[in-house]
Amino acid sequence: MEKLPTAPYYRVLNSLLFQIVFLFCAYVTIYLIYMKYSSTFDRENDTFRVEFILVPVAGLSFLVNHDYSPLEILWTFSIYLESVSILPQLFMITKTGEAETITSHYLFFLGLYRALYLANWIWRYHTEGFFDQIAVVAGVVQTIFYCDFFYLYITKVLKGKNMGLPLPV
C-alpha cells in the first residue's frame, strides 16, 4: 500500500476539501432553514433586531483586537459575535415565557461547551502560559448569559417539568 503524500500540496488540497464540505453544509443548512422548514419560523415572537448585536460587535472588533489586519478584525468579530449570539434565542424564550424541551437541552449543551472552553483556557494558561484576553473575556461574557438559563434548566427541565420563565409584570 502506498503512503499518502505529506507534501504541502496535500495539506492545501485537504484544507480546500474541508472548506468545500464546510461551505456545502452551510448552504444546505441555509436552504433547510429558509426553504424547507420556513413554516416553522415564529414570526410573531421572533422580533429581536439583530442590528442591535451586529453594529456594536463590528465596532468593538475594530476598536479592540490584536492587530489591525483584515483577517484579525474578522476573527475578532467572530469571537465577539459568538459571545452574544445566544441573545436572540434568550430574548424569544423570555418573550414567550417558555422553551421547548429540545431547545432547553440544546441551549444547555451550548452553554456547557462554552464552560468547557473556559476550563481549556485555564488549563492552557497553567501548562503553556498562553492567554488570549479577547477570547477569554468573550467566553466569560457568553457563559454569564447562560448562567440564568443553567439555573432554570437544572431546577425545571432535569426534574421533568416544562421550562417556563417568569414573565415581566
pLDDT digits 0-9 by tens, 28-46: 999 998 999 988 888 888 8
Our separate counts of H helices and E strands in the chain read 6, 2
Residue 6, pLDDT score: 58
What CA–CA distance (Å, rounded) separates 73 from 39? 36
For 69, the 3-state DSSP assignment is coil
**CA-CA-CA-CA dihedral for 7, 11, 16, 21, to nearest 10:** 130
Share the mean pLDDT of the chain: 84
Interior angle at CA 33, CA 48 and CA 71, nearest 5? 75
pLDDT 10s digits, 73-113: 999 999 999 999 989 988 888 888 777 778 888 888 888 88
Q: Which of the two residues, 52 and 89, has the higher pLDDT score? A: 52
- Whether 121 has a pLDDT exceeding 80, the answer reads yes
Lowest mean pLDDT among 13-17, 83-87, 93-97, 159-163: 159-163
User: Do the Cβ atoms of 83 and 142 come closer than 8 Å?
Assistant: yes
All three cell numbers of 139? 467566553
pTM over 0.85: no
